[in-house]
Amino acid sequence: MTTPIVELSGVTRSYGSPPTVALNSVDLRIDEGEMLAIVGPSGSGKSTMLNIIGSLDRASNGQTVIAGQDVGDLSDTELSALRAYTIGFVFQQFHLSEGVTALDNVAMGLLYTGVPQAERRLRAEVALTRVGLGARRSNKLNTLSGGERQRVAIARAVGAPPRLLLADEPTGSLDTKSGAEVMRILAELHHDGTTVVVITHDQDLAASMPRRVRISDGAIVADERGQSVAEAVA
């Protein structure tokens, strides 16, 4: 029997007064080991859903359970620990430090796990090798291409490694070849057991995924299943 890593039940998120509703009574279950896209246009609520699933924000109403933990019962410190040990993030704009090496960027992502510095650097080397950048671990960010930077960002996200990887428009600023390489790496991570959730507005990218959760105006309007992961990255 599959185990859910994400369960949203009646989740609503609103902002301001009068309230603007970004998510409206959303129900979503993601099982451990799935790979899926959450897809919708700008303003649809997909980024809000990313923030809720990633425990970067709290729902206004409803229940959010991540890796068996009810987020509503957790303190801010406990939420930080949940993110550090369970969730990895990959963002479109990389969120890397320009003035340091690829290795140091990845190692810095492990600061909040409590791992000693030597172990952080070892894990960073392993993660960079996993994404094909072991030979460029000493390069500073300004010597790397956009595709290579995104691979550094993925290495940082999986250094722990996480049970759940959230990728926000991971190919949005990349050329076609680099984007395909990033998706290949994400598929390999999924094959190795990581749950991978890709947030995207790209309909072609979404169509290549084995599950597509379509969102519009803060509500899920379709939940489709189709291709295998092997087909998705062929």
Residue 9: which domain range?
4-232
Higher pLDDT, 200 or 182: 200
Residue 210 is classified by DSSP as S
Which strands, in side-by-side order, build the sheet including 69-70? 20-31, 4-15, 61-66, 69-70
Q: Give the largest Cα separation in the chain, rounded.
A: 54
* pLDDT score recorded for residue 1: 66
For the question of whether the overall pTM of this predicted structure is more than 0.85, the answer is: yes
Q: What is the CATH number of the domain that holds 14?
A: 3.40.50.300
Q: What is the DSSP string of 105-159?
A: HHHHTTGGGT--HHHHHHHHHHHHHHTT-GGGTTSBGGGS-HHHHHHHHHHHHHS
Contacts of 219 (CB under 8 A, 6+ apart): 23, 24, 25, 26, 45
pLDDT > 50? residue 230: no
d(CA 85, CA 76): 14
* pLDDT score recorded for residue 150: 87
Provide the residue count of the chain: 234
pLDDT band at 227 (very low <50, low <70, confident <90, very high): low
Mean of the per-residue pLDDT values for the chain? Answer: 90
Q: Based on the structure, what is the number of domains in the chain?
A: 1
* pLDDT score recorded for residue 221: 97
For residues 205 and 167, is the Cβ–Cβ distance under 8 A? no
CA-based nearest residue to 81, from 120, 113, 58, 108: 113
Is beta strand 35-39 parallel, antiparallel or unpaired with respect to 61-66? unpaired
